Structure 1
Amino acid sequence: MDTFYHILNWKLKRGSHPFPGKDGGTCINEAAIVAAGFPYQPVRAVETMPACFSRPICRLAMLLNDEADDAERQFLLPFVARLACADTAKVEWEREIYISQHLRRRMSFQDRLEVLEGALAIGRQADVLVTEEVRSRLDAVQQSAKAPTSVADHLKFSKIKAWLVPTL
């Protein structure tokens, strides 16, 4: 996983994004969707993710992504290729229980990462993705980006976009 930092030219950012910029610029779940081979899609709720993604784990990843500062958030990059690990309803429930029992309000970011690691150890593991494959998928999305950086798709921003985009 250490090589992940050196080959991935992707910046995790807070919130959902209509489309990443040339910097990558998505949340962890949006990056995970692309890394797993799915077309890019904004993620405003984990329920909209493909079925192969663990809902409790992606919910925790989203929480960590959005509560972290810009520097801390980049420590989530090695987890991008590990979120597509959905399992049986029983295992998903065990993950949910594990997270609720171990996650506390006043925990350091590092301690929260350990909770994510512990939840990922329960049940099925994501298929091991070849680093070059992940890089290729993420690079393709970056190359198709029109903007230099991504902009988070907040409710206010969505309203502004609606005013600017003429209806047909």
Structure 2
Amino acid sequence: MDSFDHILNWKLKRGSHALPGKDGGTCINEAAIVAAGFPYRPVRAVETMPDCFSRPICRLAMLLNDEASDEQRQQLLPFVTRLACADTKQVEWEREVYIAQHLRYRISWQDRLEVLEGALGIGRQAYVLATEQVKSRLDAVQQSAKAPMSVADHLKFSKIKEWLAPPL
């Protein structure tokens, strides 16, 4: 985890966030967008992610982010720089199938984290981002925050999303 010290002051939180706070509080996909060099934006659905992000992988990351405890969620930080790995339709389909096959049965959150790792091993890998570049991007968003803490966007929406999520 030493190579991720530059993002350890970023706090991953449940749900979508209109704007992050000075704590850097966002979901994993929102943090990944900033790390990849895009302007900050809330992510309510993976379909709104930039095209360079893998939809099946971001969907799984969002699921893990939203169902994790606060402590577990921080284990997703090393994945922030790895989600911008979209590939061909065939590879995206292979990722989708891999994830579906491994999540057919109820497994622990830690085992689902390993499914994310396995899915990331299929196809194109994200470009390795320079540590300083990622740090400066995340720091810039934190510095521009007006509130000390981020607030979840659309609390009712995230509650409905939770109710409709398939049990794993």
Which amino acid in the other structure matches residue 70 of structure 2? D
Could you list the runs of 5+ residues in structure 1 that have no partner in the other structure? 158-168
Deviations 1:16-47 (A, max 9, x none): 00000000000000000000000000000000
Q: How many residues align?
A: 157
* The structure with more radius of gyration: 1
> In the TM superposition, what is the alpha-carbon distance from 1:104 to its structure 2 partner?
4.2
> In the TM superposition, what is the alpha-carbon distance from 1:109 to its structure 2 partner?
1.6
Deviations 1:21-77 (A, max 9, x none): 000000000000000000000000000000000000000000000000000000000
CA 1:105/1:150 → structure 2, altered by over 3 Å: closer, same or farther? farther
| Secondary structure of residue in 1 paired with 2:97 | helix
Identity of counterpart residues, as a percentage?
83
Which amino acid in the other structure matches residue 51 of structure 1? D
Residues 6-25 of structure 1 correspond to what in structure 2 (within 5 A)?
6-8=5-7, 9-25=9-25
The reply on whether 1:87 has 2:87 as its aligned counterpart is: yes
> In the TM superposition, what is the alpha-carbon distance from 1:102 to its structure 2 partner?
0.5
Which amino acid in the other structure matches residue 87 of structure 2? D
CA 1:104/1:82 → structure 2, altered by over 3 Å: closer, same or farther? same
> In the TM superposition, what is the alpha-carbon distance from 1:132 to its structure 2 partner?
1.2
Could you list the runs of 5+ residues in structure 2 that have no partner in the other structure? 158-168
> In the TM superposition, what is the alpha-carbon distance from 1:155 to its structure 2 partner?
4.6
Give the Cα separation in 2 of the matches to 1:67 and 1:106.
13
Which stretch has the larger CA shift, 71-80 or 105-114? Answer: 105-114
Give the Cα separation in 2 of the matches to 1:3 and 1:124.
21
Deviations 1:115-155 (A, max 9, x none): 00000000000000011111110000000000000000125
Which amino acid in the other structure matches residue 134 of structure 1? V
The reply on whether 1:143 has 2:143 as its aligned counterpart is: yes
CA 1:141/1:105 → structure 2, altered by over 3 Å: closer, same or farther? farther
Residues 73-112 of structure 1 correspond to what in structure 2 (within 5 A)?
73-104=73-104, 106-112=106-112
Aligned counterpart, 1:31: 31
TM-score normalised per structure 1 = 0.90
Which amino acid in the other structure matches residue 145 of structure 1? A
Which amino acid in the other structure matches residue 124 of structure 1? R
Residues 31-70 of structure 1 correspond to what in structure 2 (within 5 A)?
31-70=31-70
The reply on whether 1:71 has 2:93 as its aligned counterpart is: no
CA 1:104/1:74 → structure 2, altered by over 3 Å: closer, same or farther? farther
TM-score normalised per structure 2 = 0.90
